[in-house]
Amino acid sequence: MQRRQFIALAAASLTAGVAGGYAPLAGARRRGAQLAASAPLDAAAYRATRRYAALSFGKIAYVERGQGRAALFLHGAPLNGYQWRGAIDRLWPYRRCIAPDFMGLGYSEIPADQPLAAKDQAAMLGALLDMLKVEQVDLVASDSGGAVAQLFLLRYPKRVRSLLLTNCDVEPDSPPPKIQPVLDMARAGTLADATAEWLTDRAKARATFGAAVFADPSGFADATIDYYVTPLVSTPLRRAQYHAFHMALTPNPLAGIEARLKRSPVPMRVVWGAADDIFDQGDAEYLDRLFPNSQGIRRVPKAKLFFQEEFPEVIAEEARKLWRV
C-alpha cells in the first residue's frame, strides 16, 4: 500500500506543480503522527489521547492506539484505563488496543440513574465495541475488571477471541473479603473523602493504597495519583458514583456462572501476582481448572494486585504468546 501511495503522489507531482510542494509537508505530518503513536503514554500523553464515545450509557472515556485486530483492556478499582499504559506501549504494534474507563470510575461521564453493576459494565462494553465497529477482541483484565470480562464472555461469547486474566474476582471469591472495609466506607459515604486525601498527602497514598497493591509503592507517582483520583472526587455526583460502583460489587456478581464458563472454548491464560494477599492465591488454580482451554498459570514473584503497572513487560510477553504474535 505504501508503494502504491508513493507512486500516486509522484505522478500527481508531475502533473501539478503544487503537489510537489505539499508532498514533503504531508510526509512530515505522517512521520510526526508515527512518532506520537510510538511515544510512551505518560499521564500527559494519555490525557491528550483520551476520547469519548457517546452511548446510551453516557459518555464513555477510552484510549485507543494501534490498528488491526482489537484488544480490550479492563481495569481495576479505583483505577481507570491508565492502568494499562505500559502494556499498550508494548502491544499497540500488534493490536488495536482499546482501554475504556468503567462507569463510575475514571473519566467516563454517566447520568445519575445509570446502574453500575458488573453486568451493566459488560453491556456498556458491547455498545462501545459496536460504536467502534469492533466485532471481536482479545480481553485483558484485572481486579473487578476480571469479573466484567467473565460476564462479557458469557454475554458475547462470539466476540471474545482470547482471555488473559490477572489477579481478579472469581465466583468463589467475589468480592474478596479483604476489601470489606472499602465497601463499608462506600456505604457510609466516606470513601471519596478518604481517597481525596491522596491528592494532598502523597506519602499517605503510597503508604496505604500503594503499599497494598504495588511491590514498590514509591513508584506510585504523583502524576499517577492525580490521574486516578481527580475524576473520582471532582463533583458531588462523581463522589456518589464512586460509592455506588463499590456498593454494586455486592451481592456476588459472578454467582452461578461456573457451569457456563466450564463450557467456554476460549483460550485463557492466568498471569498472577504471587505476593497479592487481596485475592486468594488459590484463585489462579481455580481459573486454570475452570476453563477447558486454559493455557496455564504464570506467577509473577513479588507482584501484588496491580503489578500490571510495575511489570507491563510481563503482560506484553504473555499477551503476545496467547495471541501468537
What would the pLDDT profile of 131-185 be if each residue is shown by its tens digit?
Answer: 999 999 999 999 999 999 999 999 999 999 999 999 999 999 999 999 999 999 9
Amino acid at the residue 214: F
What would the pLDDT profile of 75-103 be if each residue is shown by its tens digit?
Answer: 999 999 999 999 999 999 999 999 999 99
What is the phi-psi region of residue 59: left when phi exceeds 0, alpha when psi lies from -120 to 50, beta otherwise? beta
**Greatest pairwise CA separation for the chain in angstroms:** 73
Burial class (CB in 10 A: 0-12, 13-18, 19+), 125: buried
* Residue of 215, 167, 208 whose CA lies nearest to 191: 208
What would the pLDDT profile of 208-231 be if each residue is shown by its tens digit?
Answer: 999 999 999 999 999 999 999 999
**Rg over CA atoms, the chain:** 21
In angstroms, the first-to-last Cα distance of the chain is 22
Q: What pLDDT does residue 38 have?
A: 59
CA 119 from centroid of its chain's CA atoms = 16
Q: What is the DSSP letter of 57?
A: T
- Grid coordinates given for 293: 482451554
- What's the whole-model pTM score? 0.89
Q: What mean pLDDT do residues 306-324 have? A: 98
* Residue of 182, 187, 186, 239 whose CA lies nearest to 212: 182
